[in-house]
Structure 1
Amino acid sequence: MTWLRAFVEVVRSGLMIEETRLEPLLALRTATGVAFVVGLTLWLISPAYAASAALGAYSAGGATFQRTWRPRKVIALGAGAGLAFSTFVGYLAAGRLVTFLPLLAVWSFAAGMAWAVGSTAGIVAATTVGSMLVTITLPTSVGLALEHAGVIALGGVTQAVLILLFPIRRWGAHRDALADALAAVADYARRLKHDPTAPFDPEPLTRARDAAGVTPSQARTRPPVLHGPRGLAERIRPVVATLADPHVGAPAEGPGRDRARELLDATAEILDAAARSIRRGTPVETRPASTDVLRVDEEHEVLEGPARQTAERLVELLDEALEIAGSGGGTRGKAPAPPGSAGARFLVRPTMIRLVPVVVGAVQRELRHDSPVFRHAVRLAAVVTLGYVIATRLPLGHGYWAPIASVMVMRPDFHQTYARAVARFAGTLAGVALATGMVWALGPDARVFGALAVVSAGLSYTLVRTGYAYSQCFTAAYVVFLLGMGGQAWEQTVPERVALTLLGGVLAMLAYVVFPAWETPRLAGRLADWLAANGRYAAAVLRSYAEPSQKHRADMRRTLLASREARATWQEAYDQARQEPVRPRGLTSREAEEAQEALKGFGRAAMLMESHVPRADGRVFPEAERFAEALETDTAKAAVDVREHRVPDCGHVEEALHAWDDTAAANRSPVVRRAAELQKRALEDLATAVSRTPLERDIGSALEERRMQATAAAEGDGSGTAHRGE
């Protein structure tokens, strides 16, 4: 993608309204918290303290809108404490540039490294940098700095108390994640009716597993319905895939295929009903016709052999799903076992105190030159420091606006940074113009400006998940009203804010050009990691055939999760690389797409094998061990070859497959034989996808670039024609 096309895409995405779910009740509650602290401090103390209180309440409230599985009140308290601490520490060093600049650089670097923990930590940490830059201009002594820090912390406490007193859809995010997982499997079953080899994206299952992690205190109050359905979705997915496969499941045509379609249709309807029940907390409702389909008639059942076993297993799992969701998704029923008791089983999420070593470990893993998080932290520290120095040397007041604009738009990846920079400037320009007109028309009145600031905050919260530019419009208005409440003339603040916001955005965009963290050159490594993880997962499944045991089942689950994580990492890198203005190195877009499809097929084959893993007392297949060794060896070696741009070879897999074919039929499972052949074919497809010579790769890259430019030109002509037609 060229720079021009990348910038056009950035502008389009930055100004686009995202079709996401609005949460007006949450916005109203959070804006109420801002109104409370602003009104209280304005009435009891002064407009300057009200500005500090508004900053704490607004930032802490904004943090609660981030996507996280921790309780919102904990996020609000943590954000308020971080804002208060950064304000006080910043004031202690704010007297001279020689002390403040090093502190600002170190603090900004630490805020950038917070992305190693997750996006929520990174965004909240960025707000503390903004707090340090703004509020050090307010107090005049250490005692007053402590008072301002306390008032800021009060904003976080107020938001937490409101969340506690007025809970809105408690456990709602967790319910949505679990319901989305069930709905994804339902959609998969529905697509398998028409395409027996349809792909499945495990991302909803991964998100549901993330949501299932709870702290000991959360485990005591989690609704019982959130315990079991996630595991059912995990087990149903390979079963429906096996049933639909014409080689190991229902026949391709005839009554058996019709019966399989009936079962898949009933599966989709039942899982959708369970998803609705969990999402809404209402009793599960299904049509009697769907449950009638699940009755397996011993005499008249048309499915035979492995297909019949798969159908019986599917019926068992669906009955279990109906039983779990039958409580209506409410909180009634048996409470979960308390932590530490026998039989207590849940994914443990560390408490805030025990999170410290986890954070330290995550940061240490990212302290390397090629880490996108490390590079983001370096860029953030350099841009914030440089922006502050430049802005303070300009004949403008409020120089902190430039580094604040930078810190709030910068992200570890190119596209988000540029999109947010464009959107922030556009939103700021519109918001400042809107608020300025109102300030000019209404005249100086602290109470009126305070009320308008609260309204602007509420609108910003409402639109925070609709589009960044629109949210920033009301955020800019919010700041202008706060400054007006503090007695600052609008003609002294508005032009400065526009100019300095533009400066901060430009610095953020230039920083990515000077010190980038492109994902395009890393694609081969991400693909190799996914290939190796897939090989370990498939080998673990095969070893469960050779020796069914609890240990091998645990290995199978562990390697499956590692494979999903590697796939998610690849997908994120691939999506980012497609938006970067960088010429492909190592893998062209076509090669990456073909290799991705090959590895999806490889993973599907392992999933087919997983659906028929024998139980501890079932029949074993000793020869599966040899094939597992060959598969793990070849995929590990192929991963090295892909990383070093060599053509991978799967000779050991082919030899092991032939050797297995030569053994007695009793030592072969039809499911494993089918899956093994699919895996061999997937490895061959992968080798074909990445086997082009450097010259062929350069030619292909140039042709792709020309094709994309031609497509863009055609789209532009079509758009122009449409406009002329109008």
Structure 2
Amino acid sequence: MGLTVRSVLPDAAAALRSLAAVGVIAVIAALWGPPGSATSAVAVAAVAGATAFQDSPRSRIPLVYLVSGLCGVAVLLGTAVSGLPVLFLLLCALWCAGVAMLWAHGPNTGLIGAASGALMVAATSAGTPVSVGAALGTAALAVVGGLSQAVVLAVWPPQRWRAQRDAVVAAYRSLAADARRLADGRDDGWAVDTEPLVALREAFTDVSGPTLRRPAVYRGWYALPERIAATLTDMANGPRSEALSRVLEEAADTMAAVADTSRAGRVGTHVSIGRFDSVVTEIDGPESGTVRRLSALLHEVAAMRLGDFVPSTPDAVRLRRPELPTSVRSAMDTVRGHLNQDSPVLRHAVRVGAAVGLGGGIAQYAGIPYGYWIPLTALLVLRPETAHTYTRCVGRVAGTAAGVVVASAVLVPFAPAPVVSLGFAVVAVGIAYLVSGVGYIAMSGAVAAAAVFLLDVARAGTPSSLTDPLIATIAGGALAVIAHVALPDDELTRLAQRAGELLKTEIDYAATVIKGYVHERENATEEMTAAWQRVSRARSAFEATTGAMRLESRDFRLWLRSYRTAINSLTSSCTTLEAHMPTRPAGVDREFAITVDEFVEALCGDPPTAASPWTVDAAELEAAAQRLREAAPRERAEDGSSRVLVAEATAITRSLTAVAISPVPISAR
């Protein structure tokens, strides 16, 4: 039920270990747990497993703790009051509306909240009241199921994560050695050892695959060492003093401590960064600029190593003890900022609460068999999206209905024992892992099939039906669409979503073209064609939205004119780049290729969310463009393609900066 979390499957072995943990908790719950507890235990284990697979190199295990606790509370409350229909409906509506506000922190967090709501809604699937003792036992097993994934993750981390950790350690050890050589004056032919940095980037990225939007906290793991290396190179080419040598020595000690993965390394990092700060104050000469830059980079590195809260990143989950209060306050402030009528997150929460409450009421009082699928479907398919709302909602309903039909086609003729249904549920969870990157329709089908098998365990002894859950699913999908129609986002919110979608597709098109200058790709032409088609569809949707609005505000008309100008300029730059793209990007300088990749990452920015449909970090993008301009003379392309790339990258930066400083005017509201 909760495998709606977008997971990035690390490797097959990691998936099998996660499924093994799900299977173990299923057996334990079936043999020794209260009746029906296997449903919640397996579901929470699956949710925690999907959460652990998210593509973030930090805070995985603490996040699994958090997910296990949240889902455990949902299971406890849902099972405890399942025998009180009015209270249960009110609690479900309020809980689902409340956790829907978690979309303010991004898609993964929002989907985790939806999973907890699904667990609460499914508490009535057994159809019999549950005692307080049984509710406590069920919730405890659910939490144990989630924590089992943390144990698996801690004992056997995926191979890719181990490779990333080793690459980070090697890079900082190499940088520490380079800083010591520079501090000792051994700079005859001095240069940063780039091999560990190249290996680090390769461990975190797949340059041959499609461009992915990753948060800044992810990119920092391989981008920060590269920027430190560039700063050390500037120091080697600049003025030197005794104070600078001491700064370099302390910087080397700090990076060596960061490379120590033991507990002693945490203590050493804290001590070393303090000593580094004490010697930085002695610098006041011409080298002070590069020292300040090195200081800022090392502080960010230390923050990532110590788990400190970094305000510049969107990730608010920092569960190490000293930073927990700051993280909680930041998370609450973010949610509180969306408690206004114009927020798409709040409107989504209202839609979810209304749909779950109404759907649950229909299921309770209309006597519909398998009626719990009405609020469950509405909860699983509703999203805080404006672009392609109905298309995607209908697609998710279709996927859910297909999953229900397939699973019911197995249950109805064979009527398997509960333990066999649990086995089918584990298999469906594995299929959900496999199709997690295929698309939302396939994912919805796999999740629905797993839910059908799990809920059949709770309904042990009751004959299965093929048509009843399908009818309830379709009714729930219709209720979700009605909720969108009855409680739509306001015009400017829809415009912001459409503008964000257009900007995102334009940026994806630009990133696809730019990467073709430095990386060979098997299907480059097909990728660029597909990217351009997405741009065309997004542009049509944007123009349709603006055409349906009354442009009475002068500020609004000025914004619309400047936005269209910037987008047209961006399209023109992409067209020029595509026209001058080299046939084969052979002989490209490695450092130039890395600089181009950095520009693409800054160009893509952070993944769009319901809270911020598009954002452009103009400062980061301009810094990346400047590094690209500085690296261009080292490129040896004879056809001038590198000069075209640098020129159009500068134009793209200028266009996106114009968009960033011209948001939709508030006065237009």
Distance 1:58 1:481 in 2: 13
Query: Which residue number in structure 2 is paired with residue 192 of structure 1?
Result: none
Query: Which residue number in structure 1 is paired with residue 71 of structure 2?
Result: 83
Asked if 1:156 corresponds to 2:146, the answer is yes
Query: Which residue number in structure 1 is paired with residue 218 of structure 2?
Result: 211
DSSP-derived class of the 1:464 partner: helix
Query: Which residue number in structure 1 is paired with residue 495 of structure 2?
Result: 521
- Tell me the CA shift for residue 187 of structure 1: 12
Asked if 1:106 corresponds to 2:83, the answer is no
Asked if 1:594 corresponds to 2:601, the answer is no
Asked if 1:423 corresponds to 2:395, the answer is yes
Distance 2:388 2:134 in 1: 38
Query: Which residue number in structure 2 is paired with residue 36 of structure 1?
Result: 24
Query: Which residue number in structure 2 is paired with residue 229 of structure 1?
Result: 226
Change over 3 Å in CA distance of 1:98–1:447 after alignment to 2: closer
Change over 3 Å in CA distance of 1:386–1:231 after alignment to 2: farther
Distance 2:560 2:162 in 1: 39
Does the Cα contact within 8 Å between 1:69 and 1:173 map onto a contact in 2?
Answer: no
The alignment's TM-score, normalised by the length of structure 1, stands at: 0.51
Structure number with larger C-alpha Rg: 1
Does the Cα contact within 8 Å between 2:164 and 2:200 map onto a contact in 1?
Answer: no
Read off the aligned partner of 1:128 and give its amino acid letter.
S
- Tell me the CA shift for residue 496 of structure 1: 2.5
Does the Cα contact within 8 Å between 2:40 and 2:119 map onto a contact in 1?
Answer: no
Does the Cα contact within 8 Å between 2:100 and 2:345 map onto a contact in 1?
Answer: yes
DSSP-derived class of the 1:366 partner: coil
Out of 357, 371, 385, the position equivalent to 2:329 is: 357
Change over 3 Å in CA distance of 1:129–1:340 after alignment to 2: farther
Query: Which residue number in structure 2 is paired with residue 144 of structure 1?
Result: 134
- Per-residue Cα deviation, 1:94-149 (whole angstroms, up to 9, x for no partner): 44444333322321221121111222221111111111111255552112111111
Asked if 1:60 corresponds to 2:44, the answer is no
Does the Cα contact within 8 Å between 2:125 and 2:455 map onto a contact in 1?
Answer: no
Query: Which residue number in structure 2 is paired with residue 511 of structure 1?
Result: 483
Read off the aligned partner of 1:99 and give its amino acid letter.
L
Asked if 1:133 corresponds to 2:64, the answer is no
Does the Cα contact within 8 Å between 2:373 and 2:473 map onto a contact in 1?
Answer: yes
Asked if 1:446 corresponds to 2:418, the answer is yes
Q: How does 1:184-199 map to 2 (within 5 A)?
A: none
Does the Cα contact within 8 Å between 1:80 and 1:157 map onto a contact in 2?
Answer: yes
Distance 1:46 1:143 in 2: 9
Out of 322, 343, 356, the position equivalent to 1:371 is: 343
- Tell me the CA shift for residue 38 of structure 1: 0.5
Does the Cα contact within 8 Å between 2:25 and 2:41 map onto a contact in 1?
Answer: yes
Read off the aligned partner of 1:351 and give its amino acid letter.
R
Does the Cα contact within 8 Å between 2:401 and 2:445 map onto a contact in 1?
Answer: yes
Does the Cα contact within 8 Å between 1:41 and 1:50 map onto a contact in 2?
Answer: yes
Query: Which residue number in structure 2 is paired with residue 255 of structure 1?
Result: none
- Tell me the CA shift for residue 36 of structure 1: 0.7
Distance 1:69 1:574 in 2: 35
Distance 1:503 1:86 in 2: 24
Does the Cα contact within 8 Å between 1:436 and 1:490 map onto a contact in 2?
Answer: no
- Tell me the CA shift for residue 167 of structure 1: 0.8
Asked if 1:121 corresponds to 2:109, the answer is yes
Asked if 1:456 corresponds to 2:410, the answer is no
Distance 2:206 2:48 in 1: 38
Distance 1:402 1:507 in 2: 8
Does the Cα contact within 8 Å between 2:121 and 2:376 map onto a contact in 1?
Answer: yes
- Tell me the CA shift for residue 449 of structure 1: 2.2
Distance 2:25 2:74 in 1: 20
Does the Cα contact within 8 Å between 2:7 and 2:53 map onto a contact in 1?
Answer: no
**Which range moves more in the overlay, 35-44 or 593-602?**
593-602
Distance 2:110 2:163 in 1: 20
Does the Cα contact within 8 Å between 1:94 and 1:100 map onto a contact in 2?
Answer: yes
Read off the aligned partner of 1:339 and give its amino acid letter.
H
- Per-residue Cα deviation, 1:251-306 (whole angstroms, up to 9, x for no partner): xxxxxxxxxxxxxxxxxxxxxxxxxxxxxxxxxxxxxxxxxxxxxxxxxxxxxxxx
Read off the aligned partner of 1:582 and give its amino acid letter.
T
Distance 2:147 2:47 in 1: 12
DSSP-derived class of the 1:399 partner: coil
Distance 2:224 2:390 in 1: 41
Distance 1:128 1:40 in 2: 22
- Per-residue Cα deviation, 1:69-91 (whole angstroms, up to 9, x for no partner): 54332232221211111122234
Does the Cα contact within 8 Å between 2:7 and 2:51 map onto a contact in 1?
Answer: no
The alignment's TM-score, normalised by the length of structure 2, stands at: 0.55
Query: Which residue number in structure 2 is paired with residue 73 of structure 1?
Result: 61
Q: How does 1:661-676 map to 2 (within 5 A)?
A: none
Asked if 1:480 corresponds to 2:452, the answer is yes
Does the Cα contact within 8 Å between 1:181 and 1:208 map onto a contact in 2?
Answer: no
Query: Which residue number in structure 2 is paired with residue 470 of structure 1?
Result: 442
Distance 1:420 1:84 in 2: 30
Distance 1:181 1:115 in 2: 32
Q: How does 1:258-407 map to 2 (within 5 A)?
A: 337-339=268-270, 341=272, 342=274, 343=276, 345=299, 346=301, 347=303, 348-349=308-309, 351-352=318-319, 353-354=324-325, 355-407=327-379
RMSD: 5.1
DSSP-derived class of the 2:370 partner: coil
Distance 2:105 2:10 in 1: 26
Does the Cα contact within 8 Å between 2:9 and 2:15 map onto a contact in 1?
Answer: no
- Tell me the CA shift for residue 37 of structure 1: 0.5
Change over 3 Å in CA distance of 1:459–1:42 after alignment to 2: same
Does the Cα contact within 8 Å between 2:85 and 2:364 map onto a contact in 1?
Answer: no
Figure out how many residues of one structure are paired with residues of the other and give that number. 444
Read off the aligned partner of 2:111 and give its amino acid letter.
I
Query: Where does the alignment leave 5 or more consecutive residues of structure 1 unmatched?
Result: 1-17, 189-200, 214-221, 240-307, 310-322, 531-571, 603-674, 691-726
Distance 1:58 1:467 in 2: 19
Change over 3 Å in CA distance of 1:21–1:483 after alignment to 2: closer
Does the Cα contact within 8 Å between 2:9 and 2:434 map onto a contact in 1?
Answer: no
DSSP-derived class of the 1:338 partner: helix
Q: How does 1:479-558 map to 2 (within 5 A)?
A: 479-486=451-458, 488=460, 492-517=464-489, 519-522=493-496
Query: Which residue number in structure 2 is paired with residue 434 of structure 1?
Result: 406
Does the Cα contact within 8 Å between 1:20 and 1:465 map onto a contact in 2?
Answer: yes
- Tell me the CA shift for residue 153 of structure 1: 0.6
Does the Cα contact within 8 Å between 1:112 and 1:122 map onto a contact in 2?
Answer: yes
